[in-house]
Structure 1
Amino acid sequence: MDKIAVLIPCYNEEKTIAKVIRDTKAALPEAVVYVYDNNSTDQTAELARQQGAIVRYEYMQGKGNVIRRMFREIDARCYIMVDGDDTYPMEFAPKMVDKVLCHNADMVVGDRLSSTYFEENKRPFHNIGNSMVKASINHLFGSEVKDIMTGFRAFSYGFVKTFPVLSKGFEIETEMTIHAVYNHMQIDNVIVDYRDRPEGSVSKLNTYVDGFRVLGTIFRLYRDYKPFGFFSLLAVLLAIIAILFFIPVLLGFLETGLVLKFPTLIVCGFVMMAAIQSFFAGLILSNMATKSRRDFEYRFSQVCKEERCKQGEEPCR
């Protein structure tokens, strides 16, 4: 087991990868640097290998697929994940490592939004999107995470080996954050500087397509992790619709003693039944989510025991 593993997912980063590796080795000389190449068509892999990094490959396109591969293959006490585009200064990495190794953090967020991000980033829609995602997740999940979509993070062994990677692309950061928040893992924050990409380096993030994917991920994970809240909101919405359309039918009946709009009455009845079903579906799924959390706590404790075993702190059985 490595003490510190630095994981760098890369796709066509030949302009910056060599500098990122040099900066990493200067900041964390004891770390093992892994570069995972995701079908690059330039010299990214060759340049990384020349700088002494261990180069591996993921052939399924997408950052989420790369992270799944990295988390499966690498064992370490502390993981640093950083993008290969040289937007994150590596001098902040030792402080993030200390949070994991000495202060029991499960995930450390490299917080760009509290420092230079809004000055350095030249894409205004990214600024708006980051703020919206941060506000929505903190509101929906009752958290106080400072930067949801940062690509600069540190993880414990327990987090990495229990995190189910479901996303394929850039929405993976959102998924990581919600997973940690929902399972009450210790999340620490380190404010880091941010610098825009150097000239000639091109972002792979599509503002609109990936933005909608992130919003879809938030919607999906809120439904999965907070089913009672999600289906209760749906039940209230359906009940309001049913009541609004039922009121004219009721007023007509009170005035004439006749039901003048039988189709509307029937539809209102079905919509109200759907609202009731949605409410009880939320109750059932909430109980299932509670059981899933209990199972996760047991699995997490087993993974932590496995980590101690690999470090030689207790006998393996």
Structure 2
Amino acid sequence: MIPDVTETLEPRPPAAVDPSRVAVVVPCHNEELTVGKVVRDFRAALPGALILVVDNASRDRTAEVAREAGASVIRESRAGKGFALLSGFRKARTTGVDYLVMVDGDDTYPAEDVGRLLAAAASGAEMVIGTRLATAEEGAFRAGHSFGNRLFIWLVRMLFGIRTRDLFSGYRVISRRFLEAAPLIAQGFEVEAELSLQALVQRFPVAEVPVAYRARPRENPSKLHTYRDGTRILFAILTFFRDYKPLTFFGLLALFFLVLSLAGGSVVIAEFLRTGLVPRLPLAVLSAALFILAALSFACGVLLSTINRRSAEIAARIPWQ
């Protein structure tokens, strides 16, 4: 049975979280039509919190509108949601806040739900994911995006043996402890998948809270490119699988090479036993090379798995600040 390392929480009154210990990070690329409302809504929901808008190479008035609404604005010239979030997280950490709320600037996530996410974080979750799939407004997901989300959730379940209900939600609460422990390298829309996998694979306490999810305004279409970003997300998941499950990854690779080696080698051996000759020398060389690759792949998996385990043991001895 696949373990469920998340906890789904029903709506409940928010715990006492001091808004001055909260930063709201809003990555934006050309969101002048909606970012003002997002800032105002979160200022009303969390009076005293730092509202930090990251202008991610926008070509419109996103920065000006955000400032007029009362947000602090920083500029990230490298295009990509991952770059924007990393810049926002880095800036927010310098303020000494305990919790970071991450939310998109397209007004698809209601600020009214932030209290329930913070309540789950205050109850001990290091990451709280606002799940959308069961509560999304009609038309909120573009054609194929809901299916793609579920497909990647299934892939993560198969590769890592963990369950999650929304891998790509852009509405989360992240603890300072998690942010300091989890290295993030994603550059684009795959950043949500990396955040989820970092938390789930490393067994941080994760909670999932159902939130409303609204459709984007028609005049402000999604920046997500279905095939290009889908390919990047797939590559990110497989890379994460290689890095955190090296024995399984390289073991499967070794098995693939071994099967090919045995398939070719069996033909060569059968002919040698029958005739005493090796008429298919190239096939014999290829089979031997594939067998060597299989052995090397398995050895790499064992070595990297040992290094990962040792690194985890060392990290476990380091006290949290």
TM-score (norm 1): 0.90
User: After superposition, where does 1:130-279 map in structure 2 within 5 Å?
Assistant: 130-279=149-298
d(CA) in 1 for partners of 2:295, 2:218: 57
Where structure 1 has 5 or more consecutive residues not aligned to the other structure, the ranges are 306-317
d(CA) in 2 for partners of 1:274, 1:94: 53
d(CA) in 2 for partners of 1:125, 1:7: 28
Mapped contact 1:35–1:54 kept (Cα < 8 A): yes
Secondary structure at the residue paired with 2:70? coil
d(CA) in 2 for partners of 1:257, 1:19: 82
Secondary structure at the residue paired with 2:227? helix
Within the candidate set 91, 95, 119, 1:98 is matched to: 119
| CA apart distance, 1:297 | 3.3
Name the aligned partner's letter for residue 176 of structure 1: L
Within the candidate set 122, 129, 132, 1:112 is matched to: 132
Provide Cα deviations, 1:209-228, integer angstroms capped at 9, x if missing partner.
Answer: 11111111011111111100
d(CA) in 2 for partners of 1:59, 1:161: 24
d(CA) in 1 for partners of 2:313, 2:228: 36
Within the candidate set 37, 56, 77, 1:19 is matched to: 37
User: After superposition, where does 1:14-93 map in structure 2 within 5 Å?
Assistant: 14-75=32-93, 76-93=97-114
Name the aligned partner's letter for residue 80 of structure 1: V
Distance change in 2, residues 1:298/1:86 (3 Å) = farther
- The structure with the largest helix share of the pair is 1
Provide Cα deviations, 1:25-69, integer angstroms capped at 9, x if missing partner.
Answer: 232224221111112111111111111111122122211111111
Secondary structure at the residue paired with 1:266? helix
- Which position in structure 2 is the counterpart of 1:311? none
Distance change in 2, residues 1:34/1:215 (3 Å) = same
Secondary structure at the residue paired with 1:297? helix
d(CA) in 1 for partners of 2:202, 2:275: 57
Moved more, 131-140 or 207-216: 131-140
- Which position in structure 1 is the counterpart of 2:27? 9
Secondary structure at the residue paired with 1:124? coil
Within the candidate set 144, 151, 154, 1:125 is matched to: 144
Distance change in 2, residues 1:298/1:87 (3 Å) = farther
Moved over 6 A (4+): none
Provide Cα deviations, 1:179-226, integer angstroms capped at 9, x if missing partner.
Answer: 111211011000111111012112111111111111110111111111
| CA apart distance, 1:298 | 4.4
Count of residue pairs brought into register by the alignment: 300
d(CA) in 1 for partners of 2:140, 2:260: 43
Name the aligned partner's letter for residue 95 of structure 1: R
| CA apart distance, 1:136 | 0.9
Mapped contact 2:57–2:77 kept (Cα < 8 A): yes
Where structure 2 has 5 or more consecutive residues not aligned to the other structure, the ranges are 1-18
Mapped contact 2:42–2:111 kept (Cα < 8 A): yes
Identity %: 38
d(CA) in 2 for partners of 1:206, 1:99: 32
- Which position in structure 2 is the counterpart of 1:289? 308
d(CA) in 2 for partners of 1:96, 1:181: 17
- Which position in structure 1 is the counterpart of 2:9? none
Mapped contact 2:40–2:70 kept (Cα < 8 A): no
| CA apart distance, 1:153 | 0.6
| CA apart distance, 1:163 | 2.4
d(CA) in 2 for partners of 1:215, 1:128: 14
Secondary structure at the residue paired with 1:74? helix
